Every structure is written in C-alpha cells, then in structure tokens.
Amino acid sequence: MVDVLEETNKAPIEAAGKPIKIVAFLCNWCSYAGADTAGVARLKQPYGFRVIRIPCSGRLNLLYPLRAFFDGADGVLVSGCHPGDCHYVEGNYYARRRLEVLKNFLPFLGIEPDRFKYTWISATEGTKWQETITQFTLRIQELGPLSIKREKVDAE
C-alpha cells in the first residue's frame, strides 16, 4: 500500500483523465483530529479529497452529501466518533440511523454504493484514517468520475 501512496503522492489522483473530487465530512472532535494525527505523523495520504469540518456527525444534514454529489463530487466520505464516544453524547447515534438510510437510498438514484461511505474514526486513529481515505480514493478511481456534474447551461 505504501507503494501506491508513493505514486499517488506525486500528482492529483485522476480517473478517466479528470481529477477526482472526494468530499469528506469529518466531525471536529474525533475524525478531524484523527486526520490531523495522520498529518502530524507524516502518514502519506492521497490527493483529491477536501475536508469539511462539522462539529458533530449528528450535525450532518443529509442534503450535504447529496448536494456534494450533484455539484460534481465523485465520492463522499462521512466520519464521526465511535458510537458511545460522541463528544456530544448522542449525536452520532442519530447520525448512524440517518446515514444508513441514505446509504441504502443512493443506489436507487444510480450512484454506486461504494461512492458513499461512513465510518467511525477516533482522534488517535491516524493510521485508520490513512487506510480509509486511501482505500476509498482507490475505489473511486476504479469507479471513475460520476457523470452528474454542474453544467451552467445558458438558456437556449
């Protein structure tokens, strides 16, 4: 896996000639800190993902990942504290229900199930973050760009 990361670290990850866009919604207290831990430990991570920090996974409105997809994201990753360890006690319990429903709903629109993933990553799990984002990016690269994109089409 380190070899793959050696390659990917040189240039933006591409699929079918276009740079991949992945949006990662990370909860502030656990997952964002976990990604930060990965960075501090100089763990190699792929290009191609952009992090949006939210205070808690429970804050995630299901429209955020949907808007991301319809605005041109090829993959969306959501991560929060482990259930039972939420900084706000119960936020991630609500999130878990919502995210599971969304995960089952997206394939109905034609968005491959592997394009949306939710995980629980704590602040110390830097390596878990590295593994998750790398595997996810590789999978998205395999799947290719999602053919929904924002076209600013002028009226005829």
Residues that bind other proteins (CB under 8 A): 61-63, 66-67, 70-71, 83-84, 90, 93-94, 96-98, 100-102, 104-105, 107-112, 147-156
Number of residues that this document lists for the chain = 156
For residues 4 and 72, which CB has a smaller minimum distance to other proteins in the complex? Answer: 72
CB of 38 to other proteins, least distance (A): 24
Residue in the block written with tokens 């704590």: 122
For residues 43 and 77, which CB has a smaller minimum distance to other proteins in the complex? Answer: 77
For residues 45 and 132, which CB has a smaller minimum distance to other proteins in the complex? Answer: 132
C-alpha span between 143 and 95 (Å, rounded): 26
Per DSSP, the three-state class of 147 is: coil
For residues 37 and 136, which CB has a smaller minimum distance to other proteins in the complex? Answer: 136
Q: Which of 78, 68, 79, 73 is nearest to 48 (CA)?
A: 73
Residue in the block written with tokens 């593994």: 131
CB 117 within 8 A of CB 49: no
CB of 78 to other proteins, least distance (A): 14
Amino acid of residue 137: T
CB of 154 to other proteins, least distance (A): 5
CB of 69 to other proteins, least distance (A): 9
